[in-house]
Every structure is written in structure tokens, then in C-alpha cells.
Amino acid sequence: MAKIVGLAGDEAVAYAVKQCNVDVVAAYPITPQTIIVELFSRYVHDGEVNSEYICVESEHSAMSACVGSSLTGARVFTATASQGLALMHEMLYIASGLRCPIVMAVANRTLSAPINIHGDHSDMMGSRDCGWIQIYVENAQEAYDWTIQAFKIAEDMDILLPVSVNLDGFILSHSLEGVKTLEDEEVMRFLPPRKSVYSIDPEKPITVGALCLTDYYFEFKRQQEEAMRNVSRIVKKVNEEYEALTGEEYGILETFEIEDADVGILCLGSTAGTARQVARKLREQGKKVGVVKLWLYRPFPTEEIVAAIENLKALVVLDRACSFGAPYGALCSDTVSALHQFDKKLNISNMVYGLGGRDITPSNVESMFNEALEIAKTGVVKEPIKFVGVRE
């Protein structure tokens, strides 16, 4: 029976991990992820979980220990943010290269310099090519639900790739919400014990992490890409199973009033909530606006995105990270590429916002929609990429 518990985003993640019968957690604290590791430590010290918790001495060692554990066949979790994610960068590629189904929560926080502890997507965007499956959540409920689903997705035998569940630092990590939680047994039934293709079993000695020279490396990378191509199908399957259990509908992306919209906003994370609220208000005024919120960012759901936006007259793509020197921000780049693959053209305005936790207000979003409507009317994109909310 569903129970509603008041949980902040970080707490929701820790609680989900507790229920998922994780074997090993190796993590290093960093604001704003600290609540996850603190709460989990409390579960361990109170004997509420049967997991090993390694208080590692750095994030690099956190991911190293996680990879080691995962290779034995254990179910493994970690969490980090910002500088910590940057520090474990080399290990992210190794985790995906060795096909470890690790689940990691990232309480998205911006990257130094200058140092800033607040939320934006620079950290995970800086590692978007590392071969991890990447999911962005809008609120604590989604953080809870996606963490549980993440294990099932990662551990699927056709995937065996690590998953990062991204939640906006402070905005989600530290904000209290009423979260509908499952019973422990329900999660246990949803998540059977992990199976492995290969594991470090001293009774069946294998070599893991060999040197693969020019004559072999390429093949293993192609295998990884193939696993990525299976993700979309399996995410949908896991979502269906989860819906049967909880009644919560999930998918690759979520749209709001996009079917007949003239213009839309495409974004990740908590901003989608603000966008939806503004869209509701503008719809009452007769403006045909819609919102597309992407849950699954990697692998980029090319087909689904194009299907959602192809009939729009203009689209604003919001990037909460700056890809310095690039023609567009990360999300916008991927969107434009997706459209190109399907031979579609669309007037797109990329808006970089919210860096370093700069607040995005409903009036910001309203002006974004209005700009989109202007583009739809004139057919001209005056500024392909804009910075919204920065003082000139």
C-alpha cells in the first residue's frame, strides 16, 4: 500500500536505495548530495540495511570501489555532484566500459571556477559522453521512482550499463515533498537479485580489464553502443512494469499540451514544473503553448523527441549548462541533430539559464514563451543562443 512520506529529493533517493537491497555503497560527501550519504549511513549504523558502506577518501576512489564491487556481481550505488563528478570522470568511462550496472544519483551542481554550490547541469553535461544512461527528474517523487527503476534498467542483461539519476541541487535535493513510497516487499518483488554475465568469482577465474590494443578496442566500444540502443525499449518495458505496481506513469519524455501547440519549451529537470505552470496560464489566455520534459537524456531519444516537436512552429530549448564555444548548448545541440537525422527543420532558440543556481522565475519563462510565439509569427530567429537571467 502506498505510503506518503515527507522527503526531500536526497532523502527520497536514500530511501529508495534502502529498499533496493543494495550490497555496497561507496560514496564521498559533497554539497548538495550530503543528505543522501548521511541518511544512508544512518540506515547502516541502525542496522536497517544489510549493506556495506565504504566511507571512501575521494570520489575517484568511490567510483573505483563501486566498479570493483559491481564486478563481483554485487548491486552497487553511489552519489555525487559537481567537483566530485568531475574528479571521478576517468572512472565513469571505465564503469561503462566494463559494463557495470552501477546506479549513481547526481545532485546536479555547477562546476568551479568560480566555486558555487548551487544547482545547474554543468556537472553531468560535462560527462555526457561517458557511456552512462542519464535520467533527469523533476521532483522528489520522480527521484524516488526513477532510482528504483534505474537498478532494473541497468541490470537488464541486454544493457548492463551504469545509470545516473540527476536531480537539481538544492532545488530538489533539499526541498521537502510528499512522496508516495512503496512497501519494501513491493520493491523486492520488482527488483529480483542481480544476475551477471561475467563476474569476479575466484572459483571461475577470468581476467577483467585487459589491455585491448588497436586490434580489439573498437569492437568493445561498438558493443557498448549496441547496449545503448537497447535502452529505449527496455526503459519503456520497465516503466510499464512500474506502472502496474504503482499506477505512476513514466516514459522517455513527458509532454504537456504539445499536440496542438504552436510553440514549445524543451527542458530537463525541475524547470519543467515552472514551465508547465506558465503554459497553463498562457493556454487560458488562448496562446497555444506546450512543454516537453525529457526524462531520458542519454541515450538521446531521437525518434520520440522529433515526434513530439515536429509540428511546432518554434521551439525554445533550455540548457542549464553552458557549452563554451559551441554553436548550441548540449540539449539544444542534440535536439538539432535529431531533427537533422529525420530531415526536419524547425525554428529553434537556445536559451542558457540558471547557471550557478540563478533562479528561473515564471516571468522568465513567460518571456521565453512570448519570444517563441514571436519567432513563430515572423519565422525569424534573431538570436540562436541567448543567456536568460544574467545581468548585462
Which residues contribute to the site for other proteins (CB under 8 A)? 23-24, 26, 50-52, 54-58, 60-61, 64-74, 76, 90-91, 94, 97-99, 160, 197-198, 200-213, 215-216, 218-220, 222-223, 226-227
List 107's β-bridge partners, or say none. 167
Nearer to other proteins, 224 or 333 (CB): 224
CA–chain centroid gap for 349, Å, is 23
Are the beta carbons of 293 and 138 closer than 8 angstroms? yes
Q: What separation, in Å, do the N-terminal and C-terminal C-alpha atoms of the chain show?
A: 53
Minimum distance of other proteins from residue 144's CB (angstroms): 23
Backbone torsions φ then ψ of 359, nearest 5 degrees: -65, 140
Nearer to other proteins, 99 or 358 (CB): 99
Minimum distance of other proteins from residue 63's CB (angstroms): 9
Minimum distance of other proteins from residue 188's CB (angstroms): 13
Q: Cell for 325?
A: 564555444
Nearer to other proteins, 222 or 237 (CB): 222
Nearer to other proteins, 113 or 213 (CB): 213
Minimum distance of other proteins from residue 50's CB (angstroms): 6
List of residues 6+ apart from 56 with CB closer than 8 A:
26, 27, 28, 62, 65
Q: Cα–Cα distance between 266 and 285 in angstroms, integer?
A: 21
Nearer to other proteins, 91 or 137 (CB): 91
Nearer to other proteins, 92 or 336 (CB): 92
CB atoms < 10 A from the CB of 313, how many?
A: 17
Minimum distance of other proteins from residue 186's CB (angstroms): 20
DSSP for 325-371, please give it.
Answer: TSSS-HHHHHHHHHHHHTT---EEEEEEE-GGG----HHHHHHHHHH
Angle (CA) 136-242-260 rounded to 5° is: 60
Minimum distance of other proteins from residue 80's CB (angstroms): 15
Nearer to other proteins, 179 or 227 (CB): 227
List of residues 6+ apart from 32 with CB closer than 8 A:
10, 81, 107, 109, 117, 119, 169, 170, 173, 174
CA–chain centroid gap for 188, Å, is 23
Nearer to other proteins, 207 or 363 (CB): 207
CB atoms < 10 A from the CB of 157, how many?
A: 12
Minimum distance of other proteins from residue 19's CB (angstroms): 15
Nearer to other proteins, 73 or 273 (CB): 73
Nearest CA among 298, 167, 149, 162 for reference residue 236:
149
Q: Cα–Cα distance between 108 and 297 in angstroms, integer?
A: 14
Minimum distance of other proteins from residue 57's CB (angstroms): 3
Q: Cα–Cα distance between 273 and 196 in angstroms, integer?
A: 38
Minimum distance of other proteins from residue 245's CB (angstroms): 24
